[in-house]
Amino acid sequence: MKTYCIPFFVEGEITLHALVHWIPFFIYFFAGSVLVTHNHLWEKFPNFGQHITIATFFIYLTAIDWLCLTPSMFNFSSANKLLFYFHGVPFNIIPLQGLSQEFFLNIVMTLPLGVYLYLINHQMPFSRAILYGFFFSLFIECNQFVCDLLFHIGRVADVDDLISNTIGTTIGFAVMIILDQTIFHQVIKQFMLVGEKSDKLNN
């Protein structure tokens, strides 16, 4: 989680130096916008509930982009951890040196990802959903490291985030499996992008 953002404005003026730190955020924001419009998702999934799923998923990914790839000063939750450095860029590869509030906040942050994975393809095997959560988190952490190296966004790639994000995605997907076996099935169905439900608890 970020602790302090490098501002756009210095004495009322937008500085080029400050804008450079925001390049990763805008790259992914515009890339996501192009993918949504280019693939004509609105036409492929015409139902109102499906529109809600697509729109809120885009908003969610934008929020993740904002939380993870915008400039920040040193992440103080990592201050008591043994960090390694590559060209001045810190990273942590030793898991569970100490559980902080951020660990549990990351679980909460990625719970919706598991929900959206289920709505996008509820026929997905449970093990694959876990892998998607893992690789999504790995993608974020690698981006934080590379973007900090290139654009100095002040992020710390942390193996604990990889663990907590995967846990959050797994919980979100599992909750949706359970809810879809209950009276909420008809409600959930309105927001699904793929067909009828299937039993993934045995996968």
pLDDT tens digits, 22-54: 888 899 999 988 888 877 888 888 899 999 999
d(CA 14, CA 174): 45
Residue 136 has pLDDT above 70, yes or no: yes
Q: How many Cβ atoms are within 10 Å of 23's Cβ, its own excluded?
A: 15
d(CA 135, CA 128): 10
Higher pLDDT, 172 or 82: 172
Phi, psi of 194 (to 5 degrees): -135, 130
Q: What is the pTM of this model?
A: 0.84
- Most confidently predicted of 39-43, 92-96, 114-118: 114-118
pLDDT, tens digit, for every residue of 168-188? 999 999 999 999 999 999 999
Residue 141 has pLDDT above 90, yes or no: yes
Q: Report the chain's mean pLDDT, rounded to a whole number.
A: 85
- What is the pLDDT, as a whole number, of residue 174? 98
198 confidence band (pLDDT: 50, 70, 90):
very low
Share of the chain above pLDDT 70, in %: 83
pLDDT, tens digit, for every residue of 7-28? 444 444 456 667 788 888 899 9
Helix, strand, coil abundance in the chain, percent, nearest 5? 60, 5, 35
Pairing label, strands 13-14, 84-86? unpaired
d(CA 147, CA 29): 15
- What is the pLDDT, as a whole number, of residue 196? 52
Higher pLDDT, 16 or 2: 16
